[in-house]
Amino acid sequence: MDTNLSTADRRTGKRSFSQLLRVESRKLVIALVVGCLTFLLPGSASAQQDGAPELSAEASRAIDKGLAYLLTIQKEDGSWDSNGEGGHAVAMTSLSLMAFMSKAHFPGFGQYGEQLDRGMKWLLKEAKGRPDGYLGTVMYEHGLATLALSELWGMARDPEDDDAIQRALERAVDVILRSQNPGGGWRYQPQADGGEDTSCTQTVFHALASARQAGIYVPNETIAKVVKYLESAQDPQTGGFSYTPRGGKVTLACTAGGTYTAQLAGLRDTEMTSSALRHLKSQAPGIITGGGSYYYYTHYYAIQAMVQAGDDEYAKWYPQIRDALITRQNEKGAWDKGRGHGGGGYSTPMAIIILATPHRYIPIYQR
């Protein structure tokens, strides 16, 4: 893939051949998926022939119930928020769109096309109103919005929306690139001298990796600095990653996200990643069945780390988190509030994305 789109092309919105190919190929995928889903019922024998037999009928029902719940809390302007009062709307709208896309529901297409189109247009309106490219109130939100824009690119029915997504995505990536700290990480605000922590870094780099995969220019130097950061944040005793570099407290959320970040940075087969995976697995099944702080945030990254680790690791991990999440869903279709990172506002879309992992409709969640 051509990730070195010229500065001139980026400024004029001109697409490289690889970008054009991405957009057209994803539109073809949409048409094929939407057409095929018409003939498939969740949990049916035909639905299980997609290479993901571990996606149980119960999991499919839980996903659909969760998506139905998200529709009940979508606001008239198309957005979602964490508290009914506009809180973290950029992050919640981005995550909610990703949750629907994880089950092959796309803006302007199919069963939820109109609702998702409104959500996408709200996000684009927000991006248009931010000429500096910074989306949301903290870099967590910006990272999630950048990720959603990257995965939306090529999904819109209207070519003008698709062009708007490209412009917003390029500006959002520029914000991330210029705010990377000398140590290689990111912190709460887009400041190159604002400090760094693993949690924020993993959220931001996840978006960068998606954008680079989509064909947006991300310098190799940026990735090299992220690797440098990870080296400074890994605990040599446990293999886990700490919240802050150079001796900070090791956390499960940072270990899960740090492992996935290392894999996306090209370190899949290194001792850094292997030792982090060992530490993560050593905490199971307690961290899966027992809950704890940042439960959904932790497993949002942990399942993707297992996907990248290979079929054997994934096959052992996914059924455990699948069954645990099914038992945590309430009668309304939502997941409990949990603690940290926006509370219940984040829990439901994150749970849906985790459960829908076997579908692999979203490119960044593929191995």
> What is the tens place of the pLDDT at every residue in 222-278?
999 999 999 999 999 999 999 999 988 999 999 999 999 999 999 999 999 999 999
CATH number of the domain residue 16 falls in: 1.50.10.20
Tell me, yes or no, whether 43 lies in a domain: no
Write down the pLDDT at residue 83.
79
Whether residue 53 lies inside any domain: the answer is no
Closest CA to 228 of 239, 216, 220, 238: 220
| pLDDT interval class at 22 (50, 70, 90) | low
Confidence of residue 53 (pLDDT cuts 50, 70, 90): low
> What pLDDT is attached to residue 25?
53
**In a domain? residue 301:** yes
* Burial call 352-367: b when 16+ CB within 10 Å, e when fewer: bbbbbbbbebbebbee
Whether residue 10 has pLDDT greater than 50? no
- 314 domain residue, yes or no: yes
Residue 87, beta-bridge partner list: none
Residue 47: the pLDDT is 37
Q: Is residue 11 in some structural domain?
A: yes
Query: Is residue 351 domain-resident?
Result: yes
Based on the structure, what is the number of domains in the chain?
Answer: 1
* pLDDT given for residue 345 in this prediction: 66
Is 49 inside any structural domain? no
Compute the distance between CA of residue 64 and CA of residue 67 in angstroms, rounded to an integer: 5
Task: Summarize pLDDT for 190-229 with one digit per residue, the tens.
Answer: 999 999 999 999 999 999 999 999 999 999 999 999 999 9
Give 200's Cβ-side CA count (13 Å radius).
Answer: 23
pLDDT (tens digit, 9 = 90+) per residue, 61-89?
999 999 999 999 999 999 999 877 778 99
CA distances from 349 to 300, 333, 342 (A): 10, 11, 12
The boundaries of the domain holding residue 29 are: 7-38+59-365
Continuous H helices in the chain: 7-12, 17-37, 57-72, 89-101, 113-128, 139-152, 159-178, 198-214, 220-233, 252-264, 271-282, 286-289, 295-309, 311-328, 344-355
Count CB atoms within 10 A of the CB of residue 111: 14
pLDDT above 90 as % of the chain: 78
In a domain, 1, yes or no: no
What is residue 54's predicted lDDT score, i.e. its pLDDT? Answer: 82
Respond yes or no on whether the N-terminal peptide bond of residue 285 is cis (omega within 30° of 0). Answer: yes
Closest CA to 260 of 312, 302, 200: 302
